């Protein structure tokens, strides 16, 4: 059963980060290019969630580990400062390559302090990740430098001071970082502001995995990128109209902030919230973050990973 929710007039006004879920729901109420097969959700969550283990810690095969909490916090901030660029990925570059590259840089002492980030260059990232100098390497250097400048100027050079300012709250940490220009992630859809803040939220969630001491992670939404909506489309939960489906299949780049791109990201958030509402009846510990992890890993199964997903040149994801 595919449904189109009746259109509504406008979004409510509140803190942008706290309105991500409601804004996504509003987009889907007004969507032109995507429909949700709501009737499949109850069976879908049971079949998918039963196949995957919940993530409770970072994978040591890909991520840096240290008994020093400041070093761990610094690694997470560095990683999520450059955790973007899927639209640029080519020739084998992907998230695990970036995470492992930073792991090496931290283990060798090249980037383990924020003050070192101030001098990072595109050429350094090109060498670290074994890719040519390109626009993405330029953006990586710019964004890591920006995070280093923030920590040096406002937090005495210590990332843990940032965590302390957030009072060990995942939501507050995401809200603080969402105010940084390099983490900005807001679109305008049909005249209304639609916040996403993918990287600000994943920073908070990753910091919790690294430090095991952040509260209210359950207040975060899923992380709107191009993997989870791809999974939901492949699994028949999302239906794209003919034009959008053709563009995605042909690898046509969708402009960041375009109607189609906003609807894709919003659809993923809204569906995950619907899945969570259904799953909470039998799975009280489930969160949007945990569902994101499950769907993200499903997206890396070969039959889904080889299929094209939407591509956008953006620093949001």
- 3-state SS assignment for residue 10: coil
Q: Which residues contact 285 (CB under 8 A, 6 or more apart)?
A: none
- The CA distance from 183 to 186, in Å, is 10
- Per DSSP, 288 falls in state H
Residue 292 annotated in active site:
no
- The CA distance from 182 to 139, in Å, is 10
Closest to 173 in 3D by CA, of 114, 146, 228, 213:
213
Tokens describing residue 206: 């990753």
- Rounded to 5°, the CA angle 132-122-152 comes to 155
- Rounded to 5°, the CA angle 57-60-63 comes to 90
> Euclidean distance between the first and final Cα of the chain, in Å?
31
Cβ distance 79 to 98 under 8 Å? yes
Cβ distance 84 to 199 under 8 Å? yes
To which residue do tokens 């008994």 refer? 67
Task: Give the count of beta carbons closer than 10 Å to the beta carbon of residue 38.
Answer: 15
Closest to 140 in 3D by CA, of 194, 80, 192, 199:
80
Choose, from 185, 206, 225, 292, the residue flagged as catalytic. 225
Cβ distance 253 to 261 under 8 Å? no
Closest to 295 in 3D by CA, of 21, 39, 25, 41:
41
Cβ distance 308 to 248 under 8 Å? yes
Catalytic residues: 225
């Amino acid at each position: 059963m595919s449904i189109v929710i009746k259109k509504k007039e406008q979004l409510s006004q509140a803190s942008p980060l706290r309105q991500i879920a409601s804004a996504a729901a509003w987009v889907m109420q007004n969507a032109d290019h995507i429909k949700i097969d709501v009737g499949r959700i109850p069976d879908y969550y049971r079949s998918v969630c039963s196949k995957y283990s919940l993530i409770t810690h970072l994978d040591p095969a890909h991520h840096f580990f240290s008994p020093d909490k400041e070093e761990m916090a610094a690694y997470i901030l560095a990683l999520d400062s450059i955790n973007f660029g899927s639209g640029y990925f080519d020739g084998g570059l992907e998230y695990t390559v970036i995470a492992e590259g930073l792991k090496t840089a931290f283990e060798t002492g090249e980037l383990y302090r924020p003050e070192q980030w101030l001098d990072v260059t595109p050429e350094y990232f090109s060498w670290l990740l074994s890719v040519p100098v390109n626009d993405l390497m330029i953006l990586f250097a710019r964004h890591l430098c920006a995070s280093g400048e923030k920590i040096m100027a406002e937090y005495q050079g210590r990332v843990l001071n940032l965590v302390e300012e957030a009072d060990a709250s995942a939501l507050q940490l995401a809200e603080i970082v969402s105010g940084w220009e390099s983490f900005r992630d807001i679109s305008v859809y049909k005249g209304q502001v639609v916040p996403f803040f993918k990287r600000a939220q994943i920073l908070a969630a990753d910091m919790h995995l690294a430090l095991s001491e952040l509260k209210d992670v359950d207040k975060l939404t899923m992380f709107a990128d191009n993997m989870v909506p791809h999974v939901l489309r492949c699994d028949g939960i999302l239906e794209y109209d003919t034009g959008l489906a053709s563009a995605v299949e042909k690898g046509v780049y969708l402009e960041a902030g375009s109607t189609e791109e906003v609807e894709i990201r919003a659809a993923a958030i809204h569906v995950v919230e619907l899945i969570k509402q259904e799953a909470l009846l039998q799975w009280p510990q489930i969160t949007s973050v945990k569902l994101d992890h499950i769907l993200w890993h499903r997206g890396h199964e070969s039959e889904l990973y080889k299929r094209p997903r939407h591509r956008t040149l953006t620093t949001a994801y």
